[in-house]
Structure 1
Amino acid sequence: MTAHVRVFVAAGGNEFMRDIASWIVDAARRTGRTADLVSSELPAPDGSINLVVAPHEFFELYDAPPETLQRAAAAAICIGTEQPGTAWFDLTTDACRRGVACLDINPHGVAALQAAGLDASHLQLGAVPAMTTASALDQPLEKRPIDVLFMGGLDDRRGAALAELAPALQSFRSDLRLFKFDRPVNGSSPGVIFGTDKYDVLASAKLLVNIHRERESSAAYFEWARMVEAMANRCVVVTEPCDTSAPLIAGMHFVSTPLDKMGATITALLGDVDAHRKIADTALHAVQNEIGMHRTLESVLQRLEVEVLPRIGPHMRATNPVDGPWRLGASKVPPPVRLSVFRPHAALQSAAKQIALDDTDLLRRIDATACVLRYGDVQNVARESTPAYERQAPPRVSAIVTLYNYADVVADTLTSLIASADVEFEIIIVDDHSTDDGRRVVTEFLANHPDVPMLLLGKDANEGLAAARNDAFAAAQGEYVFVIDADNEVYPHCLARLANTLDEHPEATATYSILEDFGAQRNIRSALAWDPIRLCAANYIDAQAMWRRSTWTELGGYRNDDR
Structure 2
Amino acid sequence: MSTSQNINAVKLFITSLGNQFMTEIAEIFAEGFKKSGLSVELLVDKIPSTRVEDNLIQIVVAPHEFYPLYLEKALSTSKVLKVTKNVYVLNVEQPGSTWFEIAYNPAKDAKGVFDINKQGVQEFNKRGVPAIHTPLGYEDLFFKAENKSDLSKPIDILFIGSHSPKREMFLSKNADFFSQYNCHFIMTRIDKPNLKNTPGFYSGKKRNELLDSSKIILNIHFAHRTYFEWHRVLMAIANNCLIVSERSDYIEPLVSGKHLVMSETEDIIEHCKYYLENENARYQITKEAYEFVINNYTAQIVCNSLIDKINSF
| Gap change, CA 1:306 and 1:264, over 3 Å in 2 | closer
More RCO (CA 8 Å, sep 6+): 2
Give the distance between the partners of 2:78 and 2:276, measured in 1 at CA: 55
- 2:44 is matched with 39
- 2:57 is matched with 49
Matched, 1:110 2:121: yes
CA contact (8 A) 1:165 1:262 kept: no
SS at match of 2:160: strand
Say which of 141, 149, 157 aligns to 2:150: 141
- 1:427 is matched with none
Give the distance between the partners of 1:287 and 1:266, measured in 2 at CA: 23
- 2:78 is matched with 67
**How far apart are residue 305 of structure 1 and its match?**
4.3
Which residues in structure 2 correspond to 1:216-235 (within 5 Å)?
Answer: 219-235=225-241
- 1:202 is matched with 211
SS at match of 1:20: helix
SS at match of 2:269: helix
CA contact (8 A) 1:124 1:297 kept: no
CA contact (8 A) 1:3 1:305 kept: no
Give the distance between the partners of 1:292 and 1:76, measured in 2 at CA: 24
Give the distance between the partners of 1:39 and 1:176, measured in 2 at CA: 32
- 2:3 is matched with none
- The C-alpha deviation readout for 1:165-199, integer Å capped at 9, x for no partner, is 21121111111111111112111222111122222
Which residues in structure 2 correspond to 1:552-563 (within 5 Å)?
Answer: none
- 1:546 is matched with none
Please tell me the residue identity of whatever aligns with 1:292: T
Matched, 1:290 2:296: yes
Give the TM-score taking structure 1 as reference length.
0.52
- 1:263 is matched with 269
Which residues in structure 2 correspond to 1:443-454 (within 5 Å)?
Answer: none
Matched, 1:154 2:163: yes
- The C-alpha deviation readout for 1:122-159, integer Å capped at 9, x for no partner, is 002220121343511xx211211211111111111111
| Gap change, CA 1:21 and 1:301, over 3 Å in 2 | same
Give the distance between the partners of 2:62 and 2:145, measured in 1 at CA: 30
| Gap change, CA 1:266 and 1:195, over 3 Å in 2 | same
Give the distance between the partners of 2:92 and 2:143, measured in 1 at CA: 22
**How far apart are residue 66 of structure 1 and its match?**
2.5
Matched, 1:211 2:230: no
**How far apart are residue 67 of structure 1 and its match?**
2.3
- 1:20 is matched with 25
CA contact (8 A) 1:75 1:99 kept: yes
SS at match of 1:22: helix
Say which of 69, 94, 99 aligns to 1:83: 94
| Gap change, CA 1:78 and 1:120, over 3 Å in 2 | same
**How far apart are residue 100 of structure 1 and its match?**
2.9
SS at match of 1:135: coil
**How far apart are residue 2 of structure 1 and its match?**
4.2
Q: Report the aligned-residue RMSD.
A: 1.5
SS at match of 2:60: strand
Give the distance between the partners of 2:211 and 2:29, measured in 1 at CA: 20
| Gap change, CA 1:134 and 1:54, over 3 Å in 2 | closer
Say which of 54, 62, 66 aligns to 1:58: 66
Give the distance between the partners of 1:70 and 1:96, measured in 2 at CA: 11
- 2:255 is matched with 249
CA contact (8 A) 2:27 2:42 kept: yes
Matched, 1:125 2:112: no
SS at match of 2:171: helix
SS at match of 2:89: strand
Give the distance between the partners of 2:153 and 2:67, measured in 1 at CA: 41
Please tell me the residue identity of whatever aligns with 2:310: L
Which residues in structure 2 correspond to 1:137-536 (within 5 Å)?
Answer: 139-215=148-224, 219-305=225-311, 307=313
Consecutive unaligned residues of structure 1, counting only runs of 5 or more, are: 308-563
| Bigger Cα Rg | 1
**How far apart are residue 281 of structure 1 and its match?**
0.6
Consecutive unaligned residues of structure 2, counting only runs of 5 or more, are: 1-5
SS at match of 2:136: coil
- The C-alpha deviation readout for 1:415-473, integer Å capped at 9, x for no partner, is xxxxxxxxxxxxxxxxxxxxxxxxxxxxxxxxxxxxxxxxxxxxxxxxxxxxxxxxxxx
- 2:15 is matched with 10
Give the distance between the partners of 1:103 and 1:27, measured in 2 at CA: 15
Give the distance between the partners of 2:312 and 2:257, measured in 1 at CA: 39
**How far apart are residue 43 of structure 1 and its match?**
1.7
Query: Runs in 1 of length 4+ with deviation above 4 angstroms?
Result: none
Give the distance between the partners of 1:16 and 1:132, measured in 2 at CA: 12
Matched, 1:99 2:110: yes
Give the distance between the partners of 1:274 and 1:85, measured in 2 at CA: 39
Give the distance between the partners of 1:210 and 1:197, measured in 2 at CA: 19
Give the distance between the partners of 2:93 and 2:137, measured in 1 at CA: 17
Give the distance between the partners of 1:259 and 1:134, measured in 2 at CA: 30
**How far apart are residue 235 of structure 1 and its match?**
1.1
SS at match of 2:227: coil
CA contact (8 A) 2:145 2:208 kept: no
Give the distance between the partners of 1:221 and 1:306, measured in 2 at CA: 29
Give the distance between the partners of 1:175 and 1:23, measured in 2 at CA: 27
Q: How many residues align?
A: 302
